[in-house]
Amino acid sequence: MSIRKILTEPDKILRQVSKPVEGVGNEEQNLMRDMLDTMYAAKGIGLAAIQVGIPKRIIVIDLNKDEKKNPMYFVNPIIKQKNSVNSIYEEGCLSVPNQFAEIERPNKCEVEYLDFDGKKQLLKAEGLLATCIQHEMDHLEGILFIDYLSKLKKSMILKKLSKNKPDRIVV
Ligand code: ZN
């Protein structure tokens, strides 16, 4: 197990559409373990494989970050149903460091996926979990939460991100 580097905006790899995996084998399980370690180390509650540069349709989530760990693994997730009622959460993203914005998404969704052992599962998610699943599934399409914001708000965030970079020196 190891901690991998999390790519951040504007890294173009984040804009790739991830590909479905054939099945869950050792390689996928090792990737999921690494993703979980990486996510815990960065104090996030969700991570998609593309965020560590792997364009596979794999997501890990753990909403219990401060309590007992409760990792969830989603391979090839597909949203079967979404509620027409929305909820709003202030979202952040490990690939858009230190930036937050209120995003509206369906408050419930039903998702079909393969679990850590490659078994097919169907989950009815609501609240924070539903939002988190949808945020992570956007990553699989190359979408970031800032894409939902107005042009002005988005450009402000992108500007702030570039300010977060260390100073460039020539010596
Ligand atoms: Zn994210």
Q: Classify domain 12-163 at the CATH topology level.
A: Peptide Deformylase (3.90.45)
Catalytic residues: 136
Backbone phi and psi for residue 46, each to the nearest 5 degrees, phi listed first: -160, 150
User: Using an 8 Å Cβ cutoff, are 51 and 36 in contact?
Assistant: no
57-71, 97-111, 127-141: the lowest-pLDDT one: 57-71
What are the tens digits of pLDDT across the range 3-61? 999 999 999 999 999 999 999 999 999 999 999 999 999 999 999 999 999 999 999 99
Give residue limits of the domains in the chain.
12-163
pLDDT at position 162, please?
85
What are the tens digits of pLDDT across the range 94-108? 999 999 999 999 999
- Structural tokens at position 17: 């559409």
pLDDT at position 169, please?
84
- Structural tokens at position 91: 């979202």
163 vs 154, higher pLDDT: 154
Q: Look at the block and give the residue holding tokens 């989530």.
A: 61
Q: What is the mean pLDDT of the chain?
A: 95
Output the CA 65–ligand 1 centroid distance in Å: 16
Neighbours of ion ligand 1 (CB under 5 A): 93
40-49, 131-140, 158-167: the lowest-pLDDT one: 158-167
pLDDT at position 1, please?
72
Output the CA 118–ligand 1 centroid distance in Å: 24
Say what percent of the chain tops pLDDT 90. Answer: 88
pLDDT at position 65, please?
60
Give the residue among 171, 165, 161, 164 at the shortest CA–CA distance from 9. 161
Contacts of residue 130, defined as CB under 8 A and 6 or more positions apart, other chains included, come to 83, 87, 105, 106, 107, 108, 109
